[in-house]
Amino acid sequence: MDPVNAAIVYYSATGTVHALAQAAAEGAEKAGAHVRLRKVAELAPPEAINANPAWAQHLRDTADVAQAGIDDLDWADVVLFGTPTRFGTPTSQLKQFIDTVGPLWMQGRLADKVYSAFTASNTAHGGQESTLLGLGNVFYHWGGIIVPPGYTDPIQFQSGNPYGTSHVAGDGPPGEVALEAARYQARRAVNTAAALKAGRAA
Ligand SMILES: Cc1cc2nc3c(=O)[nH]c(=O)nc-3n(C[C@H](O)[C@H](O)[C@H](O)COP(=O)(O)O)c2cc1C
Residue 116 three-state SS: strand
Residue 64 near residue 93, CB atoms below 8 Å: no
> Whole-angstrom Cα distance, residue 74 to residue 27?
21
The residue contributing the CA closest to ligand 1 atom 17 is: 121
In short, whether 15's Cβ falls inside 6 Å of ligand 1 is yes
| Summary mean pLDDT of the chain | 97
> Whole-angstrom Cα distance, residue 178 to residue 82?
13
* pLDDT tens digit sequence for 83-140: 999 999 999 999 999 999 999 999 999 999 999 999 999 999 999 999 999 999 999 9
Angle formed at CA 25 by CA 14 and CA 67, multiple of 5 degrees: 60
In short, whether 134's Cβ falls inside 6 Å of ligand 1 is no
Question: For residue 88, with 0-12 CB atoms within 10 Å meaning exposed, 13-18 middle and 19 or more buried, which class applies?
Answer: middle
What pLDDT does residue 59 have?
98
> Whole-angstrom Cα distance, residue 54 to residue 56?
6
Task: For the chain, give the percent of residues with pLDDT over 70.
Answer: 100
All domains of the chain in start order, with CATH: 5-201 (3.40.50.360)
Q: Which pLDDT band holds residue 1 (cuts at 50, 70, 90)? A: confident
* pLDDT tens digit sequence for 65-80: 999 999 999 999 999 9
Count the alpha carbons within 13 Å of 142 in the hemisphere toward its beta carbon.
Answer: 27
What pLDDT does residue 81 have?
99
Ligand 1 pocket test, candidate residues 43, 59, 86, most atoms within 8 A of CB: 86
Q: What is the DSSP string of 126-165?
A: SSHHHHHHHHHHHHHHHT-EE---TT-SHHHHHH--TTS-
DSSP state of 80: E
* pLDDT tens digit sequence for 174-197: 999 999 999 999 999 999 999 999
- Global pTM reads 0.98
